[in-house]
Amino acid sequence: MTVTTISYAAYEAAQWEAFHWREQNPSRATQTYPLYSLLLPGEPCFVDIEFQNYLVDGRGPQKHRVGRIAILNTRGDVVLDAYAVYNNEDNVKKCFGPIYWQEMFGVTKRDLIVGNGAIWASNVERWAANIFKDRIVVMHGGKHDRSAFYLTPNFFDTSTIVDTQKLYYYEQSNGTPGLKTLAARILGRGHPYDRAAAQAKLDAEKATDARKAARSLKKPTGSQKKKAARAKKMAGTAQATKA
């Protein structure tokens, strides 16, 4: 049996395993335990992290740590995609903004519940460290990503980091192009997270407008209520007579 056959067999097995896991998994994340077999030795991987914020000893500013992490191989297969839930600590407050803000950035309070499929952060960070070891790790705007690992110091000591924001700095005048810019100019397509964020913002604006409209409505007076009741009664009588 050749190496190629072995690799393909492992790939097929991992895909089936992932499919059956997703069928039973309540999380919005798509691969909540690592499929190491989808990575060849030394193969580069691609990572994106969404954050959750926290406050130490009640003093600001807020800090960030892993909320959701997604890791792909060079074929675009998902190796790991999980929400991370950290243990409660007496001096650490978990911070969440308004729900539309949570939705916009992809990590909600509901996502970070074990019963909803979130994974203990100790496991998530350990799995990610195992994946990143001795690999090229590609990320975008990686300054904050590299400091997001709360439990594991020196996380990327054995990794080579490639930051696409620095690599393609010339694509935007301020030297910090966003994923939307790079996706459009280099890949020629839109960036789905931007569409999700736009939709979340639109939903938030609609909800705000609805609340304003509701507050502007005046409550009916007593006489108006009586008129409405008489009209309803007359309509019912007319309907009964017609029948």
Residue 159 makes CB contacts below 8 A (sequence gap 6+) with 132, 133, 134, 135, 136, 137
**Burial, 119: exposed, middle or buried (Cβ in 10 Å; 0-12, 13-18, 19+)?**
buried
Eight-class DSSP state of 89: B
**Cα→Cα distances 181→34, 186, 190, Å:** 30, 8, 9
DSSP-derived secondary structure for 135-193: SEEEESSHHHHHT--SS-SSTTTT-EEEEHHHHTGGGSTTS---HHHHIIIIISS--HH
Q: What is the pLDDT along the chain (243 residues), one digit of tens a residue?
A: 344 444 666 666 665 555 554 455 578 888 999 999 999 999 999 999 999 999 999 887 899 999 999 999 999 999 999 999 999 999 999 988 877 778 777 789 899 999 999 999 999 999 999 999 999 999 988 788 889 999 987 888 899 999 888 888 888 888 888 877 877 877 776 655 554 454 444 444 544 454 455 455 555 566 666 666 666 666 555 555 555
Kindly report the CATH number that applies to the domain delimited by 3-167.
3.30.420
- Write out the H or E segment, with its range, that includes residue 68: strand 59-72
pLDDT of residue 178: 81
Is residue 67 within 8 A of residue 107, CB to CB? The reply is: yes
Domain boundaries, the chain: 3-167
